[in-house]
Amino acid sequence: MNKIYAALSILMLAACPPSRAESLTVASLQTAIKVREAKWVAGETPLSRLTMNQRRMRLGLSFAPIQAEPLPAPTEAAEAILPKSFDWREHDAVSGVRDQKTCGSCWAFAMTQALESYIMITQKTSKDVSLSEQVLISCGGKGSCDGGILNADFLQATGLPPASDYPYTATDGSCVMAQDGWKDRATKIGSWHAVEQDLGAIKTALVNYGPLATAFSVYEDFMYYKSGVYSYIKGKPLGGHAVLLVGYNDDEQYFIVKNSWGPGWGEGGYFRIAYSEMDSAVSFGDSTIVYLTVQSANPLSLSAAPKAPVSGVQAKLPAEEKPAAKPAQPGEDEQIDRDIHDLDKSGKDMEKRIQGGGAQR
Give residue 297's pLDDT: 47
Asked if 138 and 172 touch (Cβ cutoff 8 Å), the reply is yes
Give residue 130's pLDDT: 98
DSSP secondary-structure letter at 187?
Answer: B
Neighbouring residues of 49: CB distance < 8 A, sequence distance ≥ 6: none
Element housing 332 (H / E): none
Between CA 93 and CA 88 the distance in angstroms is 6
Give residue 79's pLDDT: 94
Give residue 331's pLDDT: 45
Q: CB count, 10 Å around CB of 78?
A: 25
CA distance readout (Å), 349 to 70, 143, 153: 15, 36, 25
Asked if 142 and 110 touch (Cβ cutoff 8 Å), the reply is no
Between CA 301 and CA 282 the distance in angstroms is 32
Between CA 64 and CA 43 the distance in angstroms is 32
Neighbouring residues of 257: CB distance < 8 A, sequence distance ≥ 6: 214, 243, 244, 245, 246, 270, 271, 272, 273
Tally of helices (H runs) and strands (E runs) in the chain: 9, 11
Give residue 23's pLDDT: 66
Between CA 101 and CA 169 the distance in angstroms is 9
Domain boundaries, the chain: 2-355
Kindly give the residue spans of alpha helices, DSSP state H, lying in the chain. 2-14, 26-36, 52-56, 76-80, 106-122, 133-139, 153-157, 199-209, 334-355
Between CA 187 and CA 155 the distance in angstroms is 8
Give residue 345's pLDDT: 47
Q: Which of 190, 215, 193 lies closest to 204, judged by CA?
A: 193
Residuewise pLDDT in 10s, the chain (361 residues): 454 444 444 444 433 433 344 569 999 999 999 999 999 999 999 999 999 999 999 999 999 999 999 999 999 999 999 999 999 999 999 999 999 999 999 999 999 999 999 999 999 998 999 999 999 999 999 999 999 999 999 999 999 999 999 999 999 999 999 999 999 999 999 999 999 999 999 999 999 999 999 999 999 999 999 999 999 999 999 999 999 999 999 999 999 999 999 999 999 999 999 999 999 999 999 999 999 986 444 444 443 443 333 333 332 233 333 333 334 444 444 443 444 344 444 444 444 444 554 333 3
Between CA 67 and CA 76 the distance in angstroms is 27
Which residues are the active-site residues? 106, 241, 259
Quickly name the fold that domain 2-355 has. Cathepsin B; Chain A (3.90.70)
Give residue 184's pLDDT: 97
Between CA 21 and CA 39 the distance in angstroms is 24
Neighbouring residues of 324: CB distance < 8 A, sequence distance ≥ 6: none
Between CA 278 and CA 273 the distance in angstroms is 9
The reported pTM is 0.79
CA distance readout (Å), 217 to 56, 123, 135, 351, 356: 11, 34, 26, 32, 35
